[in-house]
Amino acid sequence: MTAATPDTVRPVRRHGGLRAAARVRVLARIEGRRLLARPTVLAGAGLSLLTMVTLTRTTAPVLNRDDTTASAALLVLAAATLLATNAAALRSRRRATDELLASMPTPPRVRTLASLCSVAGVVALAGLLGGAFLLWRLAADPVTAPDPFELLTGPALVALGGCLGVALARWAPSVTVAPVVVVGLAALEFSVNLLIGGSEYGGRVKWLAPFVGQHGVARELLIRPTGWHLAYLVALVAVLGCVALLRHPATRPTIATAGAAVLVLLLAGGAQLRPLDPAQDPNALAAELTAAAAQDCEQRDDVTYCALPGYEPWVDRWAATVEPVLARLPERARPRPLTVRQDFLGTRLESLADHGGPGTAAEPTHSEVRPGLWRGRNAGEGAYQFGLALGVAALAVGLSPDGALSPADALPGQVGEGLQACTPAGQARSVVALWLAGQTSERSAEYLRNEVERQGGTTAPATGTPAPEIYFARPAAHPIGALNFGGWEAAVAVQLLRQAPDHIAGLVDRHWDTLSDPATTTDEALALLGADYPAPGRPPADVRGPGSTEAGSSGTDWRLVACP
Amino acid sequence: MPVTPRQALRLVRPLAPAISWAPIAPAGGLALLLVWLRAQDAYSGPEELIVALRAAAILLAVAAAFALDDAAAGTTASTPSPLLLRRTVRVALVALPTTALWAGALWLAARKPLPEPSSLPVALLSLELATIIMITLALAAAVIRWGDSNSGGLAASSALLGLTVLTWLIPEGVRPWVYPGEPQWAAAHRWWAVALIASLAWFVWAGLDPRRRRRPQGPAGGGLGTGRRTRQTTGSGAPVQGPACREARQRAHFRP
């Protein structure tokens, strides 16, 4: 046995700071490694990755939206990290080893600091996941550019979750607290994003929540204080870390850090809540961007393509969908001049002056098809191609976008919101438009077939009419979204798709004037095209012709009348 | 030996203070607040109310997940009451405030006037709540059976949150979170009922007392050194540790 002599004992006080830092480093490394191996964190990482893929697999990469999607998906990992760090920080309590640890040379404060530092590994994992997702999207013909602050928000959220878990473990040392806090925070996120901050431009208070989504509004029209929000999150992480440390006797560095973090928190929080400049009106911004797109249009054959800044690579895709429709149309029926002009239709616009309700973009004209800010990919590509092609086909057969929806002042009684929508159901031109859109590509045809199968059996029981309704959204449609093209008409179009396209195109060419006439019924179109209603059954005679119904399938939303 | 209701009632008194009641009040309060906020929102319809009620159900399940946690599992394993009975009494005790809170949430939701054809599917939403809670309890029972007798709640509530995210991500046609009027509404609730029965069966199976330690071979049928060494477990199936381990050894040593 050897006794410790004054020479062998290290002067603890002289190197106390350094040794404490070394102890924190060692403990943090061990805790960090254990944290990364915890099933909760691994499951959270897997679910985050799955969320990223699920949310984006059917849409083409738009990087200024994908960056926010990555952060949203990392919320799952943040929640998992909260649970895992809380459980790790409560390990000694759960296993009744607090007394044992009290006899160790490492004080509780160092263990808390190590627990906080151990989150760094999961934050790095979050960064890797976000980076991998971005690389995956970059490899698939992306448009626009990501915001670096948005990309860093995801890892910051994970750090926030980790530090909150440690702080909860120190101040509310019970394993029952963290799961309830996670669900509570999820509910808070949901409420703040969708209820309190429902108005995109008026509700700035939502920026005090850890994550703020885009809610389908075009990123180009949003004024997102992403830099301030990242500073706010980093300050919040520091504040929570200090709160955890303040459970132990306070030290000067902790108090100083806490003070500085609170200062940054207030500054960044205040900057986020600052009211917007009325000059930053989103409608004016939309008009400005659309005008910029108009100045940089590309002419291909008889069609002009105008993409918004950053979306130019999509012109090739639009042309690949529009040209097959034009190729099947008789020369005299091609809409001239035809412009494919990208704009903000389909995204919610609000005015700063009146941010209570949705605004509207400029009405589409008779010679324009207006694709929005998304493009389908993989399983969503068929729907996108079909929608764009249907926009062109609808123009060709004379279904003007401004007839889609109009005020129903003249209608008796209370009809929903006082609107009437027109429907080409029962008209021959509906069959022609659907066939033209479906024959664009195999994916487009497949989409039509699937939709007929999915929606084909829909009836309108509220009105007693057995006419099946089938709704398709045209890119150039009114914000109401979709038109009822008629279930029977869609089924006939699917039947026509099974025949040789050249043969049907020849018949369409020969009888174009009759087929595009609003007065021609579906029955007459069948005779001209040599087709019949698909088995089994035929529609009753009273629903074959164009007419009007009291309401759509939703019951009370609007009144359907035959399109002029 | 058959269990009498009297036996179960006698267990209420010792088991009530052993249950983790702490999460029920905050989770319940938050659940009621969520539903109330949604009911107050003029723009929310039946679907939004159903979302709030489902969030409330998950909150109540998270709180109920801790019902089976038992720090004294090693000690209570040696009591004559079967494990399944003790667990059933625990669940029944937790079910009382949970049912009251759920009824409160439904009452708050029902106060909101809905458009004429719509109504709140109270029975089927209650089926969803029962299934969510039963799945959580079955998960907790599984964790306790193969792991730590005091970590079932934490693991089960974490797993429940993961399952919620996972089921939200699966394709629309097979997603369990459907709304009235959707074609899958009836079929989805048949699956909810199947999941309830399956989780209940799992809960019962996990609550059966583990197989008794094999009796040592030999004429006397006991005594140390006469039988094979087997893994000692508590009544909950978890390995015996600490004082319970000593107690189990003593019992083995003094077996008549």
- In this predicted model, what pLDDT tens digit does every residue of A124-176 receive, in sequence order? 999 999 999 999 999 988 999 999 999 999 999 999 999 999 999 999 999 88
Helix (H) or strand (E) holding A524: helix A522-529
Which tokens go with A126? Answer: 């979050």
> Where are the extended beta strands (E) located within A467-537?
471-472, 483-484
To the question of pTM greater than 0.95 for the whole model, the response is: no
For residue B38, the distance in angstroms to the closest alpha carbon of chain A comes to 9
CB B69 within 8 A of CB B20: yes
Looking at residue B232, its pLDDT comes to 47
Q: To which residue do tokens 């600052």 refer?
A: A274
Least confident piece of the model among A436-450, A477-491, A518-532 = A477-491
| pLDDT for res A103 | 85
Edge to edge, the sheet with strand A298-300 lists A298-300, A303-306, A338-341, A368-369
> Rounded distance, CA B71 to CA B18, Å?
9
Kindly compute the dihedral angle of the four CA atoms of residues B226, B227, B233, B235, in this order, to the nearest 10 degrees: -80
Chain A contacts of B179, Cβ < 8 Å?
none
pLDDT given for residue B40 in this prediction: 85
Q: Which of A341, A344, A343, A338 is nearest to A325 (CA)?
A: A338
Average pLDDT over residues A404-411: 43
Amino acid at A81: T
Does A195 sit within 8 Å of B117, measured CB to CB? no
CA distance A427 to A432: 9
Nearest to B15 by CA among B78, B80, B68: B68
The model's pLDDT over B193-234, given as tens digits with 9 standing for 90+, comes to 999 999 999 999 988 876 544 444 544 444 343 344 444 444
- Which chain B residues touch A if contact means CB-CB below 8 Å? 20, 22-23, 26-27, 30, 34, 37, 41, 43, 55, 58-59, 62-63, 65-66, 115, 117, 148, 150-151, 153-154, 157-158, 161-162, 165-166, 169
Max CA-CA distance within chain B? 80
User: How many other CB atoms are found less than 10 A from the CB of residue A7?
Assistant: 6
Secondary structure (3-state) at B220:
coil
CB–CB contact A175 B169 (8 Å)? no
Q: Which residues of A touch B67 (CB under 8 A)?
A: none
What is the mean predicted confidence (pLDDT) over A256-284? 86
- Would you state the pLDDT for residue A406? 46
Residues A292 and A312: beta-carbon distance below 8 Å: no
Q: What would the mean pLDDT of A432-461 be, rounded to a whole number?
A: 78
Match 């009273």 to its residue by tokens.
Answer: A542
| Region class of A96: left (phi > 0), else alpha (psi between -120 and 50), else beta | left
Quote the mean pLDDT of chain A.
79
Cα–Cα distance measured from residue B242 to residue B73, given in angstroms and rounded to the nearest whole number: 12
Which has the higher per-residue pLDDT, B177 or A20?
B177
pLDDT band at A123 (very low <50, low <70, confident <90, very high): very high
Q: How many CB atoms lie within 10 A of CB A444?
A: 26
CA A350 to chain B, closest CA, distance in angstroms equals: 17
pLDDT at A415: 40
**Is the pLDDT reported for residue A363 higher than 50?**
no
Q: Tell which residue, B64, B230, B218, B83, has the closest CA to residue B133.
A: B64
Q: Is A300 helix (H, G, I), strand (E, B) or coil?
A: strand
Cis peptide before A210 (omega within 30 of 0): no
Burial of B214 (0-12, 13-18, 19+ CB in 10 A): exposed
Helix (H) or strand (E) holding A501: helix A501-510
- How deeply is A433 buried, as exposed, middle or buried, from its count of CB atoms within 10 A (0-12, 13-18, 19+)? buried
Question: Where are the domains positioned within chain A?
Answer: 18-273, 377-562
- A28 alpha-carbon distance from chain centroid: 37
Q: Give pairs for A9-14: CB < 8 Å, separation 24+.
A: none
Average pLDDT over every residue of A264-271? 95
| Mean pLDDT, residues A96-105 | 85
Q: Is residue A105 pLDDT above 70, yes or no? A: yes
* pLDDT tens figures, B208-217: 876 544 444 5
Cα–Cα dist A193/A195, whole Å: 6
Question: 3-state SS of A329-357?
Answer: CCHHHCCCCEEEECCCCCCCECCCCCCCC
Residue A490 and residue A452 in contact, taking contact as beta carbons nearer than 8 Å: yes
Length of chain B (residues): 256
CB contact under 8 A, A195 and B37: yes
Tell me which chain A residue has its CA closest to the CA of residue B27. A180
Cβ neighbours of A42 (radius 10 Å): 15
Asked if omega into A536 is within 30° of 0 (cis), the reply is yes
Contacts of A89 in chain B (CB under 8 A): none
The pLDDT of residue A480: 42
Q: Please answer whether residues B147 and B238 qualify as being in contact, where contact means their C-beta atoms are separated by less than 8 angstroms.
A: yes
CA atoms of B72 and A208, how far apart (whole Å): 43
Q: So what's the pLDDT on residue A450? A: 86
pLDDT at residue A270 greater than cutoff 50? yes
Q: What is the pLDDT of residue A217?
A: 72
Could you tell me the pLDDT band of residue A552, with boundaries at 50, 70 and 90? very low
Lowest-confidence segment of A237-251, A301-315, A397-411, A507-521 by average pLDDT: A397-411
Q: Determine the average pLDDT of the residues in B139-163.
A: 89
Q: Would you state the pLDDT for residue A184?
A: 87
Residue range A527-540: mean pLDDT, rounded: 66
Tokens, residue A553: 């399938």
Chain A residues with at least one Cβ partner in B under 8 Å: 40, 43-44, 47, 50-51, 54, 76, 79-80, 83, 87, 94, 174-180, 182-184, 186-187, 190-191, 195, 198, 555-556
Choosing among B69, B157, B170, B184, which should be mutated to test the A contact, i.e. which has the most A CBs within 10 A?
Answer: B157
Q: What's the gap in Å between the CA of A109 and the closest CA on chain B?
A: 25
With contacts defined as CB-CB under 8 Å, which chain A residues touch B166? Answer: 47, 50
Q: Of B4, B152, B19, B148, whose CA–CA distance to B81 is shortest?
A: B4
- Which of the pair, A428 or A9, is modelled with greater confidence? A428
Greater pLDDT, A319 or A414:
A319
Query: How far is Cα A297 from Cα A291, in angstroms, rounded to an integer?
Result: 10
Instruction: Determine, for residues B165 and A51 on separate chains, whether the beta-carbon distance falls below 8 Å.
Output: yes
Amino acid, res. A137 = R
Q: What's the rounded Cα separation, in Å, for the pair A463 and B202? A: 48
Query: How close B200 gets to chain A, by Cα (Å)?
Result: 23
Contact at 8 Å (CB) between A55 and A26? no
When computed from its CA atoms, the radius of gyration of chain B, rounded to whole angstroms, is 22
Task: Count how many Cα atoms sit within 13 Å of the Cα of residue A323 in the half-sphere of its side chain.
Answer: 10
**What is the Cα Rg of chain A in Å?**
31
Q: What is the separation of C-alpha B152 from the centre of its chain, rounded to a whole number of angstroms?
A: 9
| H helices, E strands: number in chain A | 20, 9
| Over residues B55-84, mean pLDDT | 87
Of A11-20, A253-262, B69-78, the poorest mean pLDDT is in A11-20
Using DSSP, state whether A561 is helix, strand or coil. strand
Write out the DSSP string of A471-483.
Answer: EE--TTS-TT--E
A341 in the Ramachandran plot: left (φ > 0), alpha (ψ -120 to 50) or beta? beta
Q: What is the percent of chain A where pLDDT is above 90?
A: 36
Average pLDDT over residues A489-503: 87
Band (pLDDT 50/70/90 cuts) for residue B256 is: very low
Sequence-distant (≥ 6) Cβ neighbours of residue A535 within 8 angstroms:
none
- Residues A356 and A351: their CA atoms lie apart, in Å, by 8
Rounded mean pLDDT, A532-556: 49
Are the Cβ atoms of B23 and A79 closer than 8 angstroms?
no
Strand pairing category for A303-306 and A338-341: parallel
What value does the mean pLDDT take over residues A497-521? Answer: 88
Residues B186, B179: Cα–Cα separation, whole Å: 10
Q: What is the Cα–Cα distance from A138 to A561, expressed in whole angstroms? A: 46
CB contact under 8 A, B26 and A174: no
| B151 contact partners, CB below 8 Å, separation of at least 6 | A94, A175, B69, B143, B144
In sequence order, what DSSP letters do the residues of B47-114 get, joined into one string? HHHHHHHHHHHHHHHHHHGGGG--TTHHHHTTSSS-HHHHHHHHHHHHHHHHHHHHHHHHHHHHTS--
Q: What is the pLDDT of residue A421?
A: 67
Chain B hits for A83, CB-CB cut-off 8 Å, are 154, 158, 161
The string of pLDDT tens digits covering residues B153-209 is 999 999 999 999 999 988 877 889 999 888 889 999 999 999 999 999 999 998 887
Q: What is the dihedral of CA A250, A255, A257, A262, to 10 degrees?
A: 120
- Residue recorded with tokens 């059933």: B88
Q: Do B158 and A83 touch (CB under 8 A)?
A: yes
What does the pLDDT read at residue A223? 79
Instruction: Compute the mean pLDDT over every residue in chain B, rounded to the nearest whole number.
Output: 81
Rounded Cα distance between B87 and B76, Å, is 12
Once rounded to an integer, what is the mean pLDDT over residues A303-332?
A: 90
> What separation in angstroms does the CA of A388 have from each of A157, A394, A504?
38, 10, 21
Integer angstrom CA distances of residue A395 from A300, A303, A438: 18, 13, 15
**Would the ipTM clear 0.90, i.e. be above it?**
no
Option in A176, A187, A556 nearest B30 (CB): A187
Judged against a pLDDT cut of 80, whether residue A21 lies above it is answered with: yes
Whether the CA torsion B237, B243, B246, B250 is positive or negative: it is negative
Q: What values do phi and psi take at A471, rounded to 5?
A: -105, 135
Q: Where are the alpha helices (DSSP H) in A10-62?
A: 16-37, 39-56
Contact B162 A175 (CB under 8 A): no
**Smallest CA–CA distance from A186 into chain B, residue:** B55
Confidence of residue A347 (pLDDT cuts 50, 70, 90): low
**Out of A47, A80, A180, closest to residue B23 by CB:** A180
pLDDT at A473: 60
User: Is B142's pLDDT higher than 60?
Assistant: yes
List of residues 6+ apart from A326 with CB closer than 8 A? A301, A302, A303, A334, A338, A392
Task: Tokens for B53, please give them.
Answer: 């009620």
pLDDT digits (tens, 9 = 90+) for A177-227: 999 999 889 888 877 776 554 455 556 788 888 998 887 677 887 778 899
- Which residues touch B83 (CB under 8 Å, ≥6 apart)? B77, B207, B208, B209, B235, B236
Alpha-helical regions (H) of A90-215: 91-94, 98-102, 108-117, 119-138, 148-171, 177-191
List the one residue out of A103, A109, A123 whose CA is nearest residue A32. Answer: A123
Mean pLDDT of A530-542: 59
